[in-house]
Chains A and B, each alone.
Chain A
Amino acid sequence: MAKRIEASNVSSYYGSFKAIDSISMTVEPKTITALIGPSGCGKSTFLRSINRMHEVLPNARIEGRLTIDDQNIYDSDVDVTAVRRMIGMVFQRPNPFPTMSIYENVVAGLKLNGVKKKSLLDDAAEKSLKSANLWDEVKDRLARPGAGLSGGQQQRLCIARTIAVQPQVVLMDEPCSALDPISTLAIEDLMFKLKDQFTIIIVTHNMQQAARVSDKTGFFSIEKTGDPGRLIEYDDTQKIFSNPAEKKTEDYITGRFG
């Protein structure tokens, strides 16, 4: 199920502004990859280009190749909806649908894509909520609005919603930045659990988190404001945090820069 992602020379532009410059990296299936780096260095831009979410912004375009199991997702005959169905995404801020209940939020992806059978939806809702460590907290109030949950619960609801459609890759854009340490831990546990099924790429500002959860880490940086972001180093997490090859990486993770 999980897919291999290969980026080669991916550059991204917003109008005439170049946000990232020829990023090349390979993400193996069933691994967790962390992307770290200072603010504005293009981590999120790169992440959003993996499921073509950057296209939502006007004037955004991309150069280079990005393949999922050897299919280039930027080929002209690719259906962007199908790409996003394969590659789910969890955002920095929890964004449950405000008009939907907890249950409806979880099954939104299935329901809006045509799954109508109640038993199927019920199963998917329970399974996804259990995977997201949220079932016990909400099982008695599934009909209540999703927006009424606490921030950490909302974020787990969004994760449940994402995994309910059974994507093959899950992208996470700073999923814990608005959460307290307990909710953060719950989500990290969840990521370990999900690793058996999904390929996970996570953008994080929390270096301990990157060190704890990821198998591989990519360090992004920029020379100065206005320059495009570049991938400085990409290696096993162990190596990046103990013996990085680049001076810049070492400076960043030891706190001397960024």
Chain B
Amino acid sequence: MSLLEKEVPGVVMTPDNIRSKKLPWAVDLGVAVVALIVAAAVVLGLGLGNWVLVVVVGIVFYLAGMFAAATRVEGRRSARNRLWKTLIYAACILAILPLASVVWTLVSKGAARLDGEFFGTSMNNIGARDPNGGAYHAIIGTLEQVGLATLMAVPLGVLGAIYLVEYGRGKFALTVRFFVDVMTGIPSIVAGLFILAFWVLIVSPWFNNGTPRFSGFAASLALTVLMLPTIVRSTEEMLRLVPGPLREGAYALGVPQWKTIVKVVLPTALPGIVTGVMLAVARAAGETAPVLLVAGGAAAINFDPFAGNQSSLALYVYQQAGDASRFAPERAWTAALTLVALVLILTIAAKLLARRNRLT
């Protein structure tokens, strides 16, 4: 008799038999089929809904049926285990479904205009009755704006995070961290308005004979404002994960602090930092409002991010989706697909670059 047995009557902690009965997989399948049939009969019979509801109700019936069957054959503990396992799998599939649906919608609707013309021409002189037209100018805009924003936000953000983790002590660091958190919540339109008021209306006239001017660079400034907090916070978390003894190990070799950070701490945290940066890049590439506010949007190709209106893929999607032309929706879908593909390619490339530095 174990101690537990004495204290909690009925609970046997030390069974003599370690084997237990298992439900064969055929029962699993049978219950699933029966559950679906019953669900279909109930839902369709009563006219409650379509096949989606059948699947949902079917899953509920399956869970109940399996729980009952497993309790009978395998025991309560095993039945509960099955129940939770099925729920967790179901949650995982449920979470992936919208994503798969988005990808499918993009690919199926975006494929129509996936041609050379789309990637080679702009919307210049394309009227409402013209079926052609492309997003070349928008792709250039996105690449230049996001590229410039990344060039500004990554050094600032990473250095800021290094300050917070390695040097920051006391009230000032706490204040900085607080405002970085506040910045995370800034709506993109507010960032756009800030740059409109500050850069476009006050600073840009100095470079343009006193006339305010839209530019892709203004958009990348707004995107920088949006990317900074994400990069600072994710880099900060990654730097904090680098074990203290690693830094001490370098100090003990007489390596100065800045060199320890550059050569030991940053490389160790690099893969995580890259992930954070790519999240920020993806967010920036998808922003519409700031680009509309401070770069203005354009139909023609403009390679110069420092002068004149520019478009971007997100803005292009917004404008085409709202356009009256019956050819516009197709262009919007293809641009959306292009945007997602662009972010995906950038993410994969960045991960590969970060991995190349790691030893195998």
Contact = CB atoms under 8 A, between A and B. Distances in A.
Interface of A: 51, 53, 56, 58, 81-82, 84-86, 88-91, 93, 95-101, 108-109, 112-113, 144-145, 158, 161-162, 165, 167
20 contacts: A53-B252, A84-B253, A88-B254, A89-B248, A91-B252, A95-B248, A97-B249, A98-B246, A99-B264, A99-B358, A108-B253, A108-B255, A109-B253, A109-B254, A112-B260, A113-B253, A161-B253, A162-B252, A165-B253, A167-B254
Contact of A91 (B248, B259, B267, B359): B248
Given A53-B248, A97-B249, A99-B357, A112 B255 contact: yes
Contact of B244 (A56, A84, A165): A56
B85 interface: no
Output the residue of B244, B250, B359, B360 with the most chain A CB within 10 A.
B359
Output the residue of A56, A108, A112, A145 with the most chain B CB within 10 A.
A112
Contacts of B359: 99-101, 144-145
Contacts, number: 81
Nearest to B358: A99
Nearest to B254: A85
Contacts of A82: 254
Contacts of B270: 99
Contact of A97 (B256, B264, B357, B358): B264
- Which 4 A-B residue pairings sit nearest by Cβ, starting from the closest? A85-B254, A109-B253, A89-B252, A145-B359
B179 to A, nearest CB: 22
Contacts of B116: none
Contacts of A145: 359-360
Contacts of B51: none
Given A161-B253, A165-B253, 4 more contacts: A56-B244, A97-B249, A99-B264, A99-B270
B121 interface: no
A91 B247 CA distance: 12
A162 B253 contact: yes
Contact of B259 (A58, A88, A112): A112
Nearest to A93: B245
B274 to A, nearest CB: 14
